[in-house]
Structure 1
Amino acid sequence: MNELLNTTNIILTSSAAVAGAILGNTGFWKFILKKKEENLTHAKEKEALLNASKSLVDMQASVIDSVREHFDITVTNIKNDYEEKLTAENQKFEQALSTMRLKLDNLDRANRALHEEVKQLKLRNEELEQANKQLTQILQSFEHLKGEV
């Protein structure tokens, strides 16, 4: 944005300088002064006025073309800057997304491993409960035999 403002100041200053130079060189002011000094014929006055007007229109077209060209360059530069920033932000986002996906995959693997471990622990618990039940029955049998003896 600063570049645009600086460039606008340069364009306005140079446009004023160009306008002054063209108007001075085309004889517009000379025409006004000569009109006072000399008594130009009507045809010469019209020709001088026409030449001055043509020069002014040419100068305006030149300034407009220069301004348009400069603004095209400025807009292109701004567009390129924003595209570079957007590309950098997209790369950061993709990198963060990739990192999160890896973390999610790792958590998913860990979750599956924990489910498998819980499953194994349940099986082991069932085996231990079965063994406990058998030992309880054996103990009851011994208690019963001990009572008979």
Structure 2
Amino acid sequence: MMDAVDSRLLSLVQARGDITAQDLGAALNLSPSQAARRRQRLEVEGVITGYGARLDPGRLGLTVQAFVQVQMAAHNPETARGFASLVRTLPEVVGCWTLTGEADYLLRVWCADLPALNTLIHHRLLPHPAVARVQSQIVMDQLKADSGLPV
């Protein structure tokens, strides 16, 4: 059972995964050991599934972000597994969702430039036998940065 303190703790660790038990306790008005035990309980319960760093795409040479919709040629478990296997091998794909509607999958991708996006689409996605159609939208600007879940 989560309470208001757990919710505040989750907000804090989403904003700063490397927050110390000392700082967490101070922000929550708890002792560092109490804060650490709460965080550990949320980790054990699977509410907190991991920690990571946010990286600056531009400093890594990634200048093009795009959303790519993929429509499948056939809908059966074998083609779905094959496409999922392909997606897992593509480092440019940073997110992948199955959808309702016209597109079957939505991919979020980061590429170095437009030729790299073109290569991804025309040489990796479209040649896959399960893929019927690909449509991409290039991100012009991101008005809201990726944020944590509402807790």
Taking structure 1 as the reference length, what is the TM-score of the superposition? 0.22
Taking structure 2 as the reference length, what is the TM-score of the superposition? 0.21
| Structure with more of its chain in helix, by fraction | 1
Query: Which of structures 1 and 2 has the larger relative contact order (alpha carbons within 8 angstroms, sep 6+)?
Result: 2
| Structure with more of its chain in strand, by fraction | 2
Structure number with larger C-alpha Rg: 1
